[in-house]
């Protein structure tokens, strides 16, 4: 909304629902949108992006860090290094990654990132933490046209957030206090420990899946710890198993989306829920239901 103007050339790297959403948002803003699509369940391939960037220039290149629809971690740092020194802005969706795996905005050359409070930050939904680099702020200042949505106009929000405190909207202070506490809890545990807890419980879950004969969708190096995708065995009715997990065991897991509908289960181990008890409870339920 803030960085795209009508006619801007925008490249979206798509390998799941949230990449598709980015394309939809950019095209509604009148951008000249191009996409490179990768098979869902596989990562974006930097070499393919590099080839395109040698032929074309874009105002923005955008990608999702943790694709929640498929369980894939995209190579955000590698893509960022392709854009180094260019005028192109690098936009990254970190909604599911923030608080569960490393997100290094400056080191990876990211100009704008957005996240959410309700995934690995374990906070009520409603806020979208975001960060802009100096380069992104300069792009915002240099717009030819006004930001098309008054409420989301960061140039106005920035003077409210900054020292000037120019009234823009009524801040949802209850949610900000909630976020403050959630961040405090993460920092008290320690970021490295939080990441390790996500990783360990992911590995525990993968091992348990393999023991009951289930196969992971995503190849090992690209798996997300906080969103585990597993192939549904052909002989099981995936929807009724999920319903039964929910009604009888009070466990909710997700189904597949788009081309993966009916083919996978998506198991979240995000923030507070990334713990051994959750993993063991799900595995013991699965053993009963599939045994
Ligand atoms: C959940 C999610 C979103 C959307 O967040 P909402 O708050 O539901 O709009 C966007 N991107 C990714 C990668 C997500 O996982």
The Å distance, Cα 66 to ligand 1 centre, comes to 10
Which helix (H) or strand (E) segment holds residue 52: the answer is: helix 46-55
Q: Name which residue sits closest to atom 4 of ligand 1, judged by CA.
A: 95
Kindly state whether residues 42 and 134 are assigned to the same domain: yes
Per residue in 158-201, pLDDT tens?
Answer: 999 888 899 999 989 999 999 999 999 999 999 999 999 999 99
Measured from the CA of 68, which atom of ligand 1 is nearest? 15
Q: What is the pLDDT of residue 162?
A: 85
Cβ of 268 less than 6 Å from ligand 1: no
The Å distance, Cα 114 to ligand 1 centre, comes to 10
In 69-167, which ranges are continuous DSSP H helix? 76-83, 134-141, 154-161
DSSP-derived 3-state class of residue 188: helix
Cβ of 96 less than 6 Å from ligand 1: yes
Q: How many CA atoms lie within 13 A of 107 on its CB side?
A: 4
Kindly state whether residues 14 and 105 are assigned to the same domain: yes
Per residue in 122-165, pLDDT tens?
Answer: 999 999 999 999 999 999 999 999 999 999 999 999 999 888 89
How large is the angle between the packed helices 191-211 and 276-290, nearest 10 degrees?
10
Kindly state whether residues 139 and 279 are assigned to the same domain: no
Cβ of 116 less than 6 Å from ligand 1: yes
In a domain, 120, yes or no: no
pTM: 0.96
Length of the chain: 291
Domain hosting 226: range is 191-290
Q: Quote the number of domains for the chain.
A: 2
CATH of the domain at 260: 3.90.1150.10
Kindly state whether residues 110 and 216 are assigned to the same domain: no
């Amino acid at each position: 909304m803030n960085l795209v103007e009508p006619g801007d050339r925008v490249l979206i790297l798509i390998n799941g629902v949230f990449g598709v959403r980015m394309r939809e948002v950019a095209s509604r803003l009148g951008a000249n949108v191009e996409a490179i699509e990768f098979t869902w369940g596989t990562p974006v391939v930097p070499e393919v992006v590099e080839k395109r960037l040698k032929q074309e220039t874009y105002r923005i290149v955008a990608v999702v860090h943790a694709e929640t629809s498929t369980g894939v971690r995209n190579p955000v740092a590698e893509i960022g290094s392709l854009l180094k020194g260019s005028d192109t802005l690098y936009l990254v969706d970190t909604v599911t990654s923030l608080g569960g795996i490393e997100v290094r905005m400056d080191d990876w050359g990211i100009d704008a990132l957005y996240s959410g409070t309700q995934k690995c930050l374990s906070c009520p939904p409603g806020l979208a933490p975001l960060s802009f680099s100096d380069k992104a702020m300069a792009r915002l200042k240099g717009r030819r046209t006004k930001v098309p949505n008054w409420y989301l106009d960061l140039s106005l929000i920035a003077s409210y957030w900054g020292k000037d405190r120019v009234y823009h909207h009524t801040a949802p202070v209850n949610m900000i206090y909630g976020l403050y506490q959630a961040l405090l809890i993460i920092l008290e545990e320690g970021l490295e420990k939080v990441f390790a807890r996500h990783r360990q419980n992911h590995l525990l879950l993968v091992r348990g899946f393999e023991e009951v004969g289930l196969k992971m969708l995503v190849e090992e190096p690209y798996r997300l710890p906080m969103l585990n995708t597993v192939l549904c065995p052909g002989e099981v009715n995936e929807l009724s198993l999920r319903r039964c997990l929910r009604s009888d065991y009070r466990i909710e897991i997700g189904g597949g989306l788009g081309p993966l509908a009916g083919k996978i289960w998506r198991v979240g181990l995000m923030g507070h829920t990334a713990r051994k008890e959750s993993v063991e409870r799900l595995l013991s339920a699965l053993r009963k239901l599939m045994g």
